[in-house]
A and B are shown apart, each in its own frame.
Chain A
Amino acid sequence: MATDTTYQGSLPLGRQLHHIAMKLGLRPRTAVILVPYLWLMLFFVAPFLIVLKISFAQTIIAQPPYTPMFGPGSVPHEDLLLNYNRLFDDLLYINAYWSSLQLAFTSTVICLLIGYPMAYGIARCAPTTRALLLLAIILPFWTSFLIRVYAWMGILGKEGVLNNTLQALGIIDAPLNILYTPVAMYIGIVYTYLPFMILPLYANLEKMDLSLLEAAQDLGCRPWKAFCVITIPLSFPGIIAGSLLVFIPAVGEYVIPELLGGPNALMIGRVVYNEFAQNRDWPMSAAVAVAILLLLVIPIMLFQYFQNKAQEAPK
């Protein structure tokens, strides 16, 4: 019926638009793919290319405050890697990278050590308790991140809640120096990222078929051994997902070093922001960002690999 051309004049508008779109080769399916695709190209991929471009430029006092890529005033090509050379020459950057990686890695391990037993415990609770405990894990996530970091300022300060309590109880004589030290940053990161570790672990452990453990024990395996050879290997995807969800953002963390780490805590995320906002050195800031990305490219791809596998598995 629809192929009858004389009939087209009386078609409703929607149908006519449809015909026009089809003639242009724009099927609905293509449009549905194209809209988010183009958005991400413009606001996610293009920005990185621009960052990359600017990382090769030099800072100047102008608007914008960096040299153009081509044409008059552009950087001579032997100087293109100047910013990157600085990254390796200046100990400040190397130290910042190293301490960020260290901080992120150690925090991830601590999160895993606390998060795994918690996720395991929740997954093995009765269903009603399980739902409540899970809710209790998610709830902090919905409250403000900033405020949760801020809470530790009041607790860990020289005259904060912790020191006051310990002193009042007579456990210590002089206040402990925790705020504005790496310890405070560890506490802050573990505290704010713990739910990100627990949730994927829980999702994984909850699905686990408990009869596997029973089978192992039936075959003569002790509970602890069964846990080591059955539960842990099977929860590996959850461990990876949780660890990457903590590690990757923690490497570039800005707020926690800023609020809990004190002025000397030169973490790499902070360097990016300071180069940009305080020193107005956009090219250097861009170079530092590119270097972070290069460090994180493998973890990010790993994360996506496991994410895709998890998304496709239930089918």
Chain B
Amino acid sequence: MSSRLSWFILLILVLGFAFLYGPMLVLITYSFNANKLMTLWGGFSVRWYPELLTDSQVLNAAKNSFVVASVSATFATVLGTMAGYVLARYRKFRGRLPFSGMVTAPLVMPEVITGLSLLLLFKQLDTWFGWPRSMGFTTVILAHITFCMAYVTVVMQSRFSTFDISLEEAAQDLGARPLKTFLVITLPIVAPAVISGWLLAFTISLDDLVITLFTNGPGSGTLPQLIFSKVRRGVDPTINALATIIIAVVSTGVITSHILMTRAERRRQRDIQLALQSNK
């Protein structure tokens, strides 16, 4: 089939990938530019990296981002796993339709709306109950959990809907109670999906700007907030360096996990082949 790819498709693929990766290559290149402006090439230099990594503002924002993202991702994974389980397993219950609507709506909801509505909720809760007094870690995390949960739900729903229920029945048949069945059979088997759900939630939380702008307060500014305030004023070479670091970390992570997964899958296929042969 691959030989039949027309020149048109090939051209689009080449141009498309050039379009996707060109700007990133430009950022990486200019992060090594000695010149402060992106206009001229002033020779090779790594000066922006130490400048970036000694900037306490950047380091602090990065730390905040990590705290917010890891806490949010963890809670979002728990809630999203529950929601995904409910949607995949409980085909009928009162309120299923609004539930599935609520769960997937944040996937496409414009961020300004989610952000504004959550902020107004927090303000309202404050007038009613005196909590939360001000915007900060708590409110950002609550907001992030809510929209990250939607992504985890989608991942887990599709995992659970392909899960062989007879595995759980077998465990119960052998004497395991429902909760134990879930903990020792279901959870370990869906663990890879849980992990990828968590990673997805983590990245999305780490990347979010708009909802954070609404629900965050002073003192807990995240990395995207800092980048945003810097780049609003124009091109900043330390941001190029930061971009390069982010791209490097993400690429390494994604490519490594891809290689590991491909290898594991290949080993599995080989095992299956061997098992089939040994039987004869």
| Touch test A–B (CB under 8 Å) | yes
- What is A's interface to B at a CB cutoff of 8 Å? 14, 28-29, 32-33, 35-37, 39-41, 43-48, 50-51, 54, 64, 114, 117-118, 120-122, 124-126, 129, 131, 133, 135-140, 142-148, 150-155, 157, 159-161, 164, 191, 194-195, 210, 244-245, 248-249, 251-255, 258-259, 269, 272-273, 276-277, 282, 285-286, 289, 292-293, 296, 299-301, 303-304, 307-308, 311-312, 314-315
Are A194 and B20 in touch, CB under 8 angstroms?
A: yes
CA gap between A296 and B108 in the complex, in Å: 10
CA gap between A118 and B158 in the complex, in Å: 25
Are B90 and A120 in touch, CB under 8 angstroms?
A: no
Are B90 and A33 in touch, CB under 8 angstroms?
A: yes
CA gap between A50 and B1 in the complex, in Å: 55
Are B239 and A150 in touch, CB under 8 angstroms?
A: yes
Please give the distance in Å from B42's CB to the nearest CB on chain A.
13
User: How many of chain B's residues have a CB under 8 angstroms from any CB in A?
Assistant: 98
- Tell me the number of A-to-B contacts counted with CB atoms below 8 Å: 261
* Residue B105, interface by CB 8 Å: yes
* Residue B185, interface by CB 8 Å: no
Are A282 and B243 in touch, CB under 8 angstroms?
A: no
Are B235 and A124 in touch, CB under 8 angstroms?
A: no
Are B39 and A135 in touch, CB under 8 angstroms?
A: no
Q: Is the interface of A mostly helix, strand, loop or mixed?
A: helix
Are A40 and B210 in touch, CB under 8 angstroms?
A: no
Are A255 and B17 in touch, CB under 8 angstroms?
A: no
Are B12 and A51 in touch, CB under 8 angstroms?
A: no
**Contact residue among B2, B145, B258 (Cβ-Cβ distance under 8 Å from A126):** B2
As a 0/1 sequence over residues 135 to 163 of chain B, the CB contacts with chain A under 8 angstroms (1 = contact) are: 00000001101100100011001100110
Are B109 and A121 in touch, CB under 8 angstroms?
A: no
As a 0/1 sequence over residues 84 to 121 of chain B, the CB contacts with chain A under 8 angstroms (1 = contact) are: 01110010010100011111111111111110111111
**Contact residue among A40, A146, A153, A277 (Cβ-Cβ distance under 8 Å from B102):** A40
User: A144-B207, A151-B27 in contact; A117/B120 too (CB < 8 A)?
Assistant: no
CA gap between A210 and B107 in the complex, in Å: 31
Are B118 and A120 in touch, CB under 8 angstroms?
A: no
**Contact residue among A28, A48, A125, A131 (Cβ-Cβ distance under 8 Å from B179):** A28
Are B108 and A254 in touch, CB under 8 angstroms?
A: no
CA gap between A125 and B104 in the complex, in Å: 32
Are A311 and B158 in touch, CB under 8 angstroms?
A: yes
Chain B residue, CB-CB nearest to A247:
B108
B121: chain A residues at CB < 8 Å are 43, 46-47, 50
A54: chain B residues at CB < 8 Å are 120
As a 0/1 sequence over residues 189 to 217 of chain B, the CB contacts with chain A under 8 angstroms (1 = contact) are: 00000000000000100110110011000
